[in-house]
Amino acid sequence: MEKRIIGIAADHAGYFLKCRIIEYFRKNNIEYKDFGAHNDESSDYPEYAHLLAASILSGECGPGISICGTGNGINMTVNKHQEIRSALCWNEEIARLARAHNDANICALPGRYITEPEAILIVRTFLSTDFEGGRHLRRILKIPLKNC
């Protein structure tokens, strides 16, 4: 497998889960870049989401993990970037399908609704699943914005 740097970002609601995921990365020698938040004080997820999305688009990082309370806000924010395909993943199967069928390049996690072991399993599955291509590629090529 090619060497890659995993981007990770969270707001205050996802901070502690982000720290546990980073511990998992360190224990498994997975290179990562942390875009914040760097504490659990109230913060705004768009600040970190835009940094993460930009790093994926530039090729600095990829894929990425994003975390906020429900996963929705940070997921919506990164998906505002053209060519970002972020999937809200709350279990292993959703994470697997997000990669295999949708070529998701960011996994958004609902930090207040999953446990640490669930999060690690989701992240591990997301990072180890390859895109299947084929009919799925045809579909994702239709996603980019069109001028109507």
50 is catalytic: no
Domain definitions of the chain by residue range = 6-140
96-115 pLDDT per residue, tens = 999 999 999 999 999 999 99
Question: Do residues 59 and 31 touch, judged by C-beta distance below 8 A?
Answer: no
Q: What pLDDT was estimated at residue 1? A: 37
Rounded to a whole number of angstroms, the CA Rg of the chain reads 14
Q: What pLDDT was estimated at residue 13? A: 98
Task: With cut-offs at 50, 70 and 90, classify the pLDDT of residue 144.
Answer: confident
CATH H superfamily, domain 6-140: Sugar-phosphate isomerase, RpiB/LacA/LacB (3.40.1400.10)
122-139 pLDDT per residue, tens = 999 999 999 998 899 989
For the chain, give the mean pLDDT: 95
Q: Is the pTM of this model over 0.85?
A: yes
Q: What pLDDT was estimated at residue 147? A: 67
Residue with tokens 């697997």, as numbered in its chain: 96
* Rounded percentage of the chain residues whose pLDDT exceeds 90: 89
Active-site entry in 12, 38, 81, 101: 101
Question: Do residues 57 and 81 touch, judged by C-beta distance below 8 A?
Answer: yes
Residues 117, 140: Cα–Cα separation, whole Å: 30
Whether 148 shows a pLDDT value over 90: the answer reads no
